[in-house]
Structure 1
Amino acid sequence: MNWGILGAARIAQSALVPAIREAGSTVHMVAARDPQKAHTFAEENQIPHSSSYQELLKNSDIEAVYVPLPNSEHLEWTIKALEAGKHVLCEKPLTLNASEARAMIEAQQKSGKLVLEAFSYRFHPQIERMLERLREGAIGEVRFLKVTYGFNLDRPDDIRWDPRLGGGAFYDVGCYGIDIMRLITREVPEQVHAVARMTTGGVDLDLGAMLHYSSCIGLLNCSFGLPFQQVFEVQGTRGNLILEAPFATDNYEAHLTVNGKAETFPKINPYAEMVKHFEKAIAGTEPLRFTLQQDSLPQMETLEQVLNAVDYPRT
């Protein structure tokens, strides 16, 4: 399959270009607002063509596009890609709020093309194994979900410090915690309580939330001001389950511990597994596992609940 990349972002270079190639496909073209930046990115990554966004979407050789643009631009360019007849793999968070997610769903349905929100961690085998163990009742009835995901964002010019672009720790890493809790509960919470410490620039540096689901309580911590850490724990009536690296990226030897017994998973590239699945869904050989209507919309509804709970400033 021929892919185009809308935006010469770091994540595209470090993760998606290698993943597309590992899946056996081709990165045909990269686009950027700055023609020189697109050209340089193409040369550095052995991509045959570079262009503007508009030129890429007009290219009939491209079947699918990857959108790693700033969060504030996901809606606009995903819709434009759909209108151009392309399938879209869009970075998380899919949009900035539930209203935007509904607009994207409408565009997706009109186009007949597929859109997948790029939570690559879902495609790591530790996640399906975790869900299997919970379905088996390995820890009894689930009562608490606890997620921590933080790191030290020490680049002052990083776009994630810019509220106009959808910056902040919650949009960047907190969304992972919301998503993994939703994979287990399959619900939008009934109530949300949250607090945040804001930067002078207007984004959250630290955010903590308590989410009340029908049968359990979720606790979320996310930050741009901590040493790198991520962990997910599920507490049940008969024990607990821990993922020490729930959002593990490529070539990490992951571990799932259930009631003190650890299970190790071989090193894989979940980005490549995500691309392989999306291409099979495009080809019609397997159904799309995570859809906008059933997965991304309730995800955005929950994110919006948390943002409303902290009275997050809107640009």
Structure 2
Amino acid sequence: MLSRIGNSLFWMGRYIERAEHVARYTKVHYVSSLDAPLALNKENTLESILDLMGQQADYYQKYGQLTDDDVLCFITIDDNNPSSIVSTVNLIRENARGTRDSISMEIWEAINRFYHSINKYDATRFQQKGIFSFSREVEENSSVIKGLIANTLIRDEVWMLISLGINLERAVQICKMILTTLYDVEKIDPAKRGGPAENYQWTMLLKSAQAFDMYKRYYKTNTWRRNILDFLLFNATFPKSLAYNLSYIQKNVQSIAFQEAKGKDSITFKVGKSAAQLQFMTIEEVEDDTIGFLNKALDKLYKLGRLLEEKYLVY
């Protein structure tokens, strides 16, 4: 396979997962904040949405202050924001167009419909439909595309590279969601931590990760910080957890015929080491410095992505 094709497949998977996670996080947090506890400041919600994408500086460079309409439009439909959802969807289609001979016709048609559906949104249409409808449209289209990836592709390098992109990006987004939640909790008055305001933040995290129902079934108890962190970081059977996705990344890297030595500097070794560390790690080891642990995990994930590109996907 040409490196150009492999790079497009890998990034197509990453962008599909990124658009879905940003849309869901924005929808869950903003819509829920409309009737959230009085202790929750609306400004904190808007900052949280920008923090997830690392775009506070970019936003303030364009706008003087936080407003609902400006933040939501900046994150969702702003063509001039290269990280907005509409820009991400455009990149999904651009990468898919370069790989049409490798993917199925059904996947291409679904991506094309997604592209045209989201690009119909201008400021007027967005205000009429609202963030809930827009985000649901992104989530549903992403789910359809991932369903077609799972059900119409031969399990060869094409499928593996797309899956590698999806799982790497999912691991990144889960880490960023947890980090953003931890920062949001730190903004709460220390006297009120452990109460409804903090519980609200952890509930929003679970819903943003599509983990609320499974968490309840697994633990059969109310939301609790330690259990939530354990579930999203170390549960090897939940498909949104960091441990699950690193394990999946390891399998895909081992299956793709990368021509490299198998020493300690190889991708196979580095991914396997990270996956094994998580497999035998417990929440007690990280709960005193969860932010530090997550920043290190993100750094490793970013380095892995760069290593994959530099060695095998640069053209």
Q: TM-score, normalised by structure 2?
A: 0.26
Which of the pair is proportionally richer in strand?
1
Task: State the structure with bigger RCO (CA 8 A, min sep 6), 1 or 2.
Answer: 2
TM-score w.r.t. structure 1 length?
0.26
Q: Per residue, is there more helix in 1 or in 2?
A: 2
